[in-house]
Amino acid sequence: MATMSYEQTGATAYRRLYLVPPSPSLSEGDSRLLLSEDTASPNQDALFAELRQLADEWYRETGMFSVMHHKMMHPAYQRITNMYGRSAIPFILSELKARKGHWFVALSAITGENLIPEDELGNVPAMRERWLEWGRRNHYIDYRSYVIAR
C-alpha cells in the first residue's frame, strides 16, 4: 500500500482505513536493519531520532483511545509500520519494554508473525513478553547504546 501522509488523507479519512496491509518494508540487506552496540552509526541514530519523533506524536495524539482501530490508523503509526518496516523493529521493541505502548498490530504486520496463543489474547503483559522474547531470540534487542541514551 502506498503510504499516505496525514496531509494527503485528511484528518478524518484515515479513520476509514481499518486494515493494515503487509508492509513493503525495507529490504533485509538494509544497512540500518542490524543494530548492535558496536555497529551503531550516524544513520542508525538518525533512524531512531525519526522514529522517536513519530512515536511521540502517536502517543500524544492517540493515548486517549481505548480501541486499536483508532490508534493504528494514526498517520505516525502507519508510517512506522509501512515506511520503516523491519528497520523499525529494534525501536518498537525498546518502546514496548520502556513505555509499554500497544505496538502488537505493527509488529504482526511487519513480521507476519502471530505469536500470541489463544489463552493470552488481550493479556497485555504476557503479549509484551512474547514479543520481547521473540526480539531476543532474533537478535533485535542488541542496541544497548540506544536504550542507555533513553
Residues that bind other proteins (CB under 8 A): 12, 15-16, 18, 59-60, 62-70, 72, 100-102, 104-105, 108, 114-116, 121-125, 127
Min dist CB 50 to other proteins, Å, is 23
Least separation in angstroms between residue 123's CB and other proteins is 7
- Tell me if 111 sits within 8 A of 86, measured CB to CB: yes
Min dist. Cβ of residue 61 to other proteins (A): 9
* Between 64 and 148, CB nearer to other proteins: 64
Q: Which of 42, 122 has the CB closer to other proteins?
A: 122
Would you say 36 or 59 has its CB closer to other proteins? Answer: 59
Confirm if 71 and 62 have CB atoms less than 8 A apart: yes
Least distance (Å) between residue 12 CB and other proteins: 7
SS (H, E, C) the chain: CCCCCHHHHCCCHHHHCCCCCCCCCCCCCCCCCCCCCCCCCHHHHHHHHHHHHHHHHHHHHHCCCCCHHHHCCCHHHHHHHHHHHHHHHHHHHHHHHHCCCCCHHHHHHHHCCCCCCHHHCCCHHHHHHHHHHHHHHCCCCCCHHHHHHC
Which CB atom, from 6 or from 59, has the smaller least distance to other proteins?
59
Q: Toward other proteins, which CB reaches closer, 6 or 65? A: 65
